[in-house]
Chain A
């Protein structure tokens, strides 16, 4: 089943070019194909959920967009800059939250954020101001001089989110950012990022395998076995697949092609929900 939206043709709410355009991207690890002709776009001001089961290719796609993995086939454009031509410069409008925690545990929150600000060419004064602004929004300002080691998982994630927003990016990429968090922390982060997309006109690409993190009006790209199997508004994707909710649609879309059934896919989705 393929419900595809053409990549990179429309400007988003923020106007101008799309925040992210992925066209015909393939990648293989030896003989194993991780991505096969993937294409979609993320508009400015939109929250796009990249939904796929484990092993679908989400992290590989993030690796390619962030240049941690070399792009061989296809094109990726970030705010109109072609990754192949602009190379490292194309990463400038990008804010990132990785699946793995990436804060330095031995440094304080402030020291971690200052380090990142220096990498993004921000002056100390500007960085200081932005650090407090972003941490305040996430109710973390009072923890600014605490060592990261002393923070719990949810608070560390908030600091990582604050860091990703420090340089006012146009595109925010989050790779399963709620893994290991409790329900309340997850809910807060999901809501905050939705607000950011709306208020700041930020393009958001949120990779997840957790269906409850996708809202009906979100843009949705469903990735399965390295291919985009559906895309569009979440509610429309569900409707076009003939299901009442996204749970059922996801189960149907990710059911194993050979010998699999929607029921077995649904079981997988239920598993994802429990995870």
Chain B
């Protein structure tokens, strides 16, 4: 096996081990979307139906509609959690072990990103299994087609989180970022309601939600879960990933990025 392959596997194994051993994190990752699905969606199910619109070919109930949004939520939280763990690792020093590995920095950061995506995919399929037990299931082709969509959206959200982590000086500052990133990204998207409904109430909010990359990640997931491809959403997610990754690389470059500035004042 090449040095790259071995390092990638090592980084992924560590991330999965950490996730499995932090049981609270595993449970929280599942409880959060389940609360939305069981409480929020159940309440709205009786009052809100979703009109026929792609990828749906018939009227659907609200709990079916919300599942892709909740998958996006899992990946969004996981992306931010990974970046939080990068800030923590940096403060605790273990990021130094990774950064002093004799492999290119772009590779190490991408491998770290891939590890976070792997963890988010585990969470998503665990969530889908519980949803299926609750009677909200999809065709098996949907579960298979979902995988590449999850990889792409997971990389995008992870790269955004990684860039944010490169700009944050201290762990304490992270809560503010969560408020300014996670909540606007989630609520100003098609995760909870179709965009046309938002347009009826506010054109400005509809425009913002239409431009929100998270909306496109959710739509990519929604179409995939119904065995269809949304190429426009895939292109926007891929483009956002590329830009975010480039910014993250710059942020972690010791001679140019935020990391260089953060080291000022050291011994």
A residues adjacent to B (C-beta < 8 A): 29-30, 34, 54-60, 63, 66-70, 72, 87-92, 94, 96, 98, 100-104, 106-107, 111, 114-123
| CB pair B100 A96 closer than 8 Å | yes
B92 near A68: Cβ-Cβ < 8 Å: no
Is the Cβ of B93 less than 8 Å from the Cβ of A88? no
Residues in B with CB closer than 8 Å to A94 are: 100, 102
Interface size class of B (residues with CB under 8 A): 35 or more
Inter-chain contact A59/B17, CB cutoff 8 Å: no
Do A69 and B17 touch (CB < 8 A)? no
Closest Cβ of chain A to B24, distance in Å, is 11
* B265 part of interface (Cβ distance < 8 Å): yes
CB distance from A175 to the nearest CB of B (A): 9
Please measure, in the bound complex, the distance between the C-alpha atom of A69 and the C-alpha atom of B101, giving whole angstroms.
14
A94 to B101, CA, bound (A): 9
Q: A29-B264, A88-B103 given as contacts; is B96 within 8 A of A70 (CB)?
A: no
Flag if A111 contacts B263 (CB, 8 Å): no
A58–B92 contact, CB under 8 A?
Answer: no
- B208 touches A (CB below 8 Å): no
- In the bound complex, do residue A69 and residue B254 qualify as a contact, i.e. CB atoms below 8 Å apart? yes
Q: Which 9 A-B pairs have the closest CB atoms?
A: A118-B10, A70-B255, A100-B93, A29-B264, A59-B267, A121-B3, A102-B93, A92-B102, A91-B102
Note all chain B residues with C-beta closer than 8 A to A88. 101-105
**Residues of chain A contacted by B94 (CB below 8 angstroms):** 102-104
> Chain B, 133-152, contact with A by CB distance < 8 Å: what is the 0/1 string?
00000000000000000000
Chain A, Cβ-Cβ closest to B104? A88
List B contacts of A66 (CB < 8 A): 96, 99-100
Please judge, given known A-B contacts A70-B255, A119-B10, whether A34 and B100 are in contact too, CB under 8 Å. Answer: no
**Known contacts being A91-B101, A92-B102, A107-B21, is A100 close to B92, with CB within 8 Å?**
yes
Nearest Cβ on chain B to A85's Cβ, whole angstroms: 14
B14 within 8 A of A: yes
Nearest-CB residue, chain A, relative to B105: A88
Whether B99 contacts A68 by the Cβ 8 Å rule is: yes
In the complex, whether B22 has a CB less than 8 A from a CB of chain A is: yes
Minimum distance in angstroms from A131 CB to a CB of chain B: 14
Q: Is B11 an interface residue (CB 8 A)?
A: yes
Distance of A2 Cα from B10 Cα, bound (Å): 47
Closest residue of chain B to A72 (Cβ to Cβ) is B255
| Sample of 20 more A-B contacts, CB < 8 Å, known A63-B266, A68-B100, A102-B97 | A29-B264, A30-B264, A34-B267, A67-B99, A67-B100, A67-B254, A68-B263, A70-B253, A70-B254, A88-B101, A88-B104, A89-B102, A91-B102, A98-B93, A101-B92, A107-B18, A111-B14, A118-B6, A119-B7, A121-B3
Report how far A68 CA is from B257 CA in the complex, Å.
Answer: 12
A107 near B93 with CB under 8 A, answer no
Which of B216-267 touch A at CB < 8 Å? 253-256, 260, 263-267
A88–B253 alpha-carbon span in the complex (Å): 13
A43 to B208, CA, bound (A): 61
Q: Which residues of B contact A56 (CB under 8 A)?
A: 267
**What string of 1s and 0s marks CB contacts (under 8 Å) between B75-109 and chain A?**
00000000000000000111011111111110000
Checking B13, B96, B256, B263 against A115 with a beta-carbon cut-off of 8 angstroms, the contacting residue is: B13
Chain A positions within 8 Å of B266 at CB level: 29, 34, 59-60, 63
